[in-house]
Structure formats: C-alpha cells, structure tokens
Amino acid sequence: MLLVATGFSITLGYHRLFSHITFRAKLPLRLFTLVFGAAAFENSVLMWASEHRRHHKHVDHDEDPYDITKGFFHAHIGWLLFKLQPQPPFDNVADLKRDPLVMWQHRHIHLLAVMVSFVLPTLAGFAWGGWVGALGGFLIGGVAKVVVLQHGTFLINSASHTIGRQPYSARCSARDSFLMALFTCGEGYHNYHHEFQHDYRNGVKPWQWDPTKWLIWI
C-alpha cells in the first residue's frame, strides 16, 4: 500500500503535477502527494522539480543534473553520491514557491520523510504482530520500499536515456520502453515525454502501460 501510494505520489504528484503542471488538482490530492511523496526520500518537491526542470531544459548537457553523457552510473545514482557542485538556486520554481502547501512540505521534509516512510510502517507492523511485526514493517515497509522506489526513479534518468526506441525525436537521448514503463508506473515512455512535457500522458497510445495517466484521467 505504502509503496503504491508513494510511487504514484512521485509520478502523478512530484513529476506530472508539480514539475510539469500537466493538470490542476484540489487541496486533498496535492496534500496527499506531498505527504506520501516525502516517503520516497527524494527530498522536497521544490528541490525535485527544480532539478527536474533543469534536466528537461539542459538534457544531455553539462547543466543537466543527471546528464547521461557522463555515463550510466552517473545518471543513475552517481550524481547523488558525488554531489560536487553546490546546489543551484531554486530560480526555476517561482510558481511552486507561491504555493503554501509546497513550502510547508519543503520546511518539514526530513521529519515528514522519517514519519511516513519508517515510523508509519513500523507502527502498523507492531499493531499487527508485536515486535517481530514492527521489525518486518521497518525492513520491508520502510527500507525495502525506499530502495525499490529510488531505483525505479533513477532508472528513468539512466535506463530511459539508454534503452528503447526514439519514435518521436532523436534530438535528445530519451527513449520509449515498455519494460521501463512496467517498473515506473508508466514513466518509461520517456522519448514522448521529452518531446511533449506538458502532456499528462507519457504513454500516449491507449494500449501503452501508463497507470499514472489513467489515474489522472479518472
């Protein structure tokens, strides 16, 4: 449950709603995706969107935070492990800075992340099966969930710029892949996404596996 709630909070919330403004949402949905998105330990939506907008603008170039031309490992996780450059200013998210809910999440991101990602599944495990349940909740609902979510997200920056076809444009390295879409709630149609970043769909054909677009449509 927590994996699904957090996964969609990243794809539907962090990515398609806040970073690209592909649709508008009322307060309950925005609050939900901010609270559960925090559990992925991918920092606040303000920082995430700022880096992601920079990725789209400068894709395959030096200012792209996860530039694939620096290698698969760098694009996947190296850019986070060896952050040598200082954090660039949040100069491309003025719209998000005006959103009090976004700024509230930004101020409390670390506390929110720990509470939702680790404390919640540990308590749920304890209620269900005592101390053994708590340990299981922490390890599976907490630690394993974060590993799966983070590598799912990182695959978009690495594999989706390496594996697949380029039906829409060869202007940049982004590629479409059904396999990647399977692992990422539909984000694997990345060639289309780089060409049409303001579309709420990534898999634009009706049969393409993009559960995030179906959720938004609903």
Q: Which residues bind Zn ion (CB under 5 A)?
A: 174
Return the number of the residue (117 or 153) whose C-beta is nearest Zn ion.
Answer: 153
CB of 160 to Zn ion, least distance (A): 6
- Contact criterion met (CB below 8 Å) for 190 and 202: yes
Which of residues 108 and 208 has its CB atom nearest to Zn ion in the complex?
208
Render the burial of 71-98: b for 16+ CB within 10 Å, e for the rest.
Answer: eeebbbbbbeeeeeeeeeebebbeebee
Nearer to Zn ion, 117 or 161 (CB): 161
> What is the nearest approach in angstroms of Zn ion to the Cβ of residue 149?
17
* Closest residue to Zn ion, based on beta-carbon distance: 174
CB of 58 to Zn ion, least distance (A): 11
Give me the least distance between CB of 93 and Zn ion, in Å please: 14
Nearer to Zn ion by C-beta: 116 or 210? 210
